[in-house]
Each structure stands twice: as structure tokens, then as C-alpha cells.
Amino acid sequence: MSKRFENKVVAITGGSEGIGLATAKLFAAEGAQVYLTGRRQERLDEAVREIGNGAIGVQGDAANLADLDRLYERIQREHGKLDVVFANAGIAEGEPRPLGTIDEAGFDRVFGLNVRGLLFTVQKALPLLTAGGAVILNGSVAGSKGFPDQSLYNASKAAVRSFARSWTTDLKERGIRVNVVSPGGTETRLMRGYLDTRPGVEDMLTQIVPLGRLGQPDEVARAVLFLASSESSYIAGVELFVDGGSLAV
């Protein structure tokens, strides 16, 4: 395997499972020192063992600014730089929430992580980010659709897309590229929890996806590594859909 990220330092929020874990594994395999966060220490420890050499777990919640500070303080202390940030941590609504049933706690929960947490994940990384570094935000096809009963999630992912546009111009003088990877239906715990509470949705999804199936976390991970690598050196501010063609066709 090529070593595109030899001597690079990578931070991934929500890296203890799903897309985050799959991405951490690929970065480590290509030579990066990967710092990953997760809220549950036990699961984070398991993820670090799965990844092996090149992985360091820092327990924390990306919605908690003090936890983000601890992550970056450790990276500063141990490496003094950061080359790639994958702001991956996110959450969906736990149950259907059509307009008229949305409460304040639900709003704060979804926007607190998907928007506020993601914003400060990137902003607090800026002092460490090297010139020419890469920021990848985890979006979703939901940011471009009006999926029923989940307007909070849809809107939070639309905000992620908007951030990439603005931050591309904000950071252009430092040569830091900001892009979004937007998965479609992907076989993760988050997605499985959503599908299991909505009978028939999985069949509907696979029918509208031209490739006829859900995606796998490592398929999204490979797109993240492309956006983080020099192979995408002239790509900035884009939203790369990894959705089996569901939005394009």
C-alpha cells in the first residue's frame, strides 16, 4: 500500500466506530499518526486496538469544547502540528420528528453536535493546521433532500455544506482546503438505528439507489483520504457525494 500520509498527523472526531473508524484505519495504514475521539472509553480503546500502530484515542465528546481543547492540547504537546482534520462526529434524531413535534432539547442535541461541535472542531484546530493542510467535513445527502420527519438532521447537514463554502475562502491564504464528503445510506450503527425505527425505509432506499444497496464505511473512507491527499490538490469547497448515484440519477 502507498504511504501518502507518512509523517502526517490526522485528527478524527467520532472515530471509534462506523465511517470514522474505517477512515482512521486507512490513514494509519498509509503512514499517518491518527488521533481519534469517542465518547465511550471502552469502545475507543477497542478501536485503537483494531487500528494498531499509528492510533491514539482521546476520550471526548465533539460537542464539548473542553474535550476538543484536550484533544488539540495533546496533539500540540506531542507533535506541534496537524495536517488533516476529519470532522466526522454527528448524530441523527433518535425517532421521527415531523414539524410540530420538535422540542428544544432535540434541537440542541442535533445542532449542538452536527453544527456547533463541527464548527469548533475546525476552529480550535486552526492554530495547529499546517499550510496546505486539509479539512474534511462529514455531511450527508440529507443536506440536499427533504427527508420526512428529520428536518433537524437535514438542516444541520445543509449547514455543514455551507461551512465548506465559507471556510474555503476564509482559509485560502493559508492554502488549507475544505471539502465535504456526503454519504448516502451507509451501513453504520447510526444508520441502522434510523432504519430499524422506520419499517420499509431500507427497501425504499435500496430501490432508489442506482447501485441497489447501502454503502459500506470503507467506501466513504476512501473518498475522505482522496480529499485529504495531494491527489485532490485543486479541489476545494466541493461536496463529494458517496451515495451510489442516488442524487445524481
Block means of pLDDT (10 residues each) for the chain, 249 residues, are 91 97 98 97 97 95 98 98 98 86 96 98 98 98 92 97 98 98 90 81 88 96 98 98 95
Q: Which amino acid is at 109?
A: R
pLDDT of residue 65: 98
C-alpha grid cell for residue 56?
A: 491514539
Measured torsion, CA atoms of residues 123, 75, 172, 235, in degrees rounded to the nearest 10: -110
Q: Are 229 and 5 in contact (CB under 8 A)?
A: yes
Maximum CA extent, the chain:
52
pLDDT of residue 191: 80
The radius of gyration of the chain's CA atoms, rounded to the nearest angstrom, is 17
Q: Are 33 and 104 in contact (CB under 8 A)?
A: no
Residues annotated as catalytic are 153
Look at the chain and count its residues.
249
Supply the pTM of this predicted model: 0.95
pLDDT of residue 3: 92
Q: Any bridge partners for residue 86, and if so which?
A: 12, 136
Domains of the chain: residue spans and CATH: 9-242 (3.40.50.720)
β-pair type (9-12, 55-59): unpaired
Q: How confident is the model over 80-105, as pLDDT tens digits?
A: 999 999 999 999 877 789 999 999 99
pLDDT of residue 196: 83
Left if phi > 0, otherwise alpha if psi is -120 to 50, otherwise beta: which for 11? beta
Q: What percent of the chain has pLDDT over 90?
A: 85
3-class SS of residue 125: coil
Q: How far apart are CA 106 and CA 61, in angstroms?
A: 17
β-pair type (129-138, 239-242): unpaired
pLDDT of residue 1: 61
pLDDT of residue 92: 86
